């Protein structure tokens, strides 16, 4: 009988046997469960799970605000100081000077033709100014238009031109129905410039006008306004005379403006200031003045420019 060969267990194991025994030991060794997370973490997870939608909205808003704040920090201009403003204004004025107003331009044109008309009386052997009015030169020879009431009863009339030259003057004609007087001076400046007269046919309510004169003896002064109406009537405060076909205007006029020119924005004379309306006895301007149309004034001087 053939004997079966028996193999005894060897203490020396191959590499595969060692791996097998290690795996077997790992299987047989019990696995300990992981430690539970802290309570704070559990509470945070529950909170975020429960309010996930509101939290996402709040997060989006905060992110947007952060982006905007960062953008503004780098794009918005810094706060302007008064020094910055002054510098910018000065730079603009140097590069683009402000254009003069229409009233200023008109005044510059008419100024050389406006004169101060004084009634002069002799008092204590000295000449004394008794009344002040205004006139406008219409001819280089020294022909001047003014109001009758400016020179009425004068012992002597003195005229002061724009350059300070003074001369005596005389009444050469009057037109009582329009309160107009024409003066002629004894002397004139070398560079005397007569005013340009313009027809009132195209004049309309709302048109710009200026009044130039010596209100209360202060002047020459200029005030601006508009034509308020045409073909107005005016009754003398004493009820003795009515002036008709007048230009109504709202450029300020006061005693001393009488006889001065009413001028358009182009510097052309369309009327002679003759009266102001005031229901009291104060004789100050309340917004309504009257001027005789230049057509009437020119005819008083024997002119027919239109």
Catalytic residues: 149, 179, 258
Count of beta carbons in the 10 Å neighbourhood of residue 175 = 16
CA-wise closest residue to 221 among 266, 251, 200, 244? 251
Residue 255, both tokens: 């005693």
Residue 272, both tokens: 């002679």
Q: How far apart are CA 42 and CA 35, in angstroms?
A: 13
Q: How far apart are CA 267 and CA 60, in angstroms?
A: 69
Count of beta carbons in the 10 Å neighbourhood of residue 212 = 26
Residue 219, both tokens: 């002047």
Q: Would you tell me the crossing angle of helices 52-75 and 39-50 to the nearest 10 degrees?
A: 80
- Is residue 177 a contact partner of residue 274, using CB atoms and an 8 Å limit? no
- Is residue 134 a contact partner of residue 114, using CB atoms and an 8 Å limit? yes
CA-wise closest residue to 220 among 249, 188, 261, 269? 261
């Amino acid at each position: 009988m053939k004997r079966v060969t028996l193999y005894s267990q060897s203490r020396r194991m191959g590499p595969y046997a060692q791996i097998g025994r290690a795996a077997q030991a790992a299987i047989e060794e019990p696995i300990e469960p992981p430690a539970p997370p802290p309570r704070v973490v559990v509470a945070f997870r529950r909170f975020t799970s429960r309010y996930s939608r509101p939290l996402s909205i709040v997060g989006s808003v905060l992110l947007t605000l952060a982006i905007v704040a960062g953008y503004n920090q780098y794009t918005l201009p810094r706060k302007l100081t008064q020094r910055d403003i002054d510098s910018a204004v000065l730079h603009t004025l140097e590069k683009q000077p402000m254009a003069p107003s229409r009233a200023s331009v008109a005044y510059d044109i008419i100024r050389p033709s406006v004169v101060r008309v004084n009634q002069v009386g002799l008092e204590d052997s000295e000449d004394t100014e008794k009344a002040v009015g205004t006139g406008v030169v219409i001819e280089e020879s020294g022909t001047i238009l003014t109001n009758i009431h400016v020179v009425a009863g004068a012992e002597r009339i003195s005229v002061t031109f724009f350059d300070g030259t003074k001369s005596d003057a005389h009444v050469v004609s009057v037109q009582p129905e329009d309160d107009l007087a024409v003066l002629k001076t004894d002397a004139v400046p070398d560079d005397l410039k007569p005013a340009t007269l313009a027809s009132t046919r195209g004049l309309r309510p709302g048109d710009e006008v200026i009044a130039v004169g010596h209100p209360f003896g202060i002047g020459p002064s200029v005030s601006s306004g508009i034509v308020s109406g045409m073909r107005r009537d005016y009754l003398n405060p004493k009820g003795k005379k009515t002036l008709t076909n007048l230009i109504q205007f709202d450029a300020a006029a006061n005693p001393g403006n009488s006889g001065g020119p009413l001028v358009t924005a182009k510097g052309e004379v369309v009327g002679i200031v003759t009266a102001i309306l005031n229901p009291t006895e104060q004789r100050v301007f309340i917004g309504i003045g009257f001027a005789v149309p230049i057509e009437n004034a020119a005819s008083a001087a024997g002119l027919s420019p239109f």
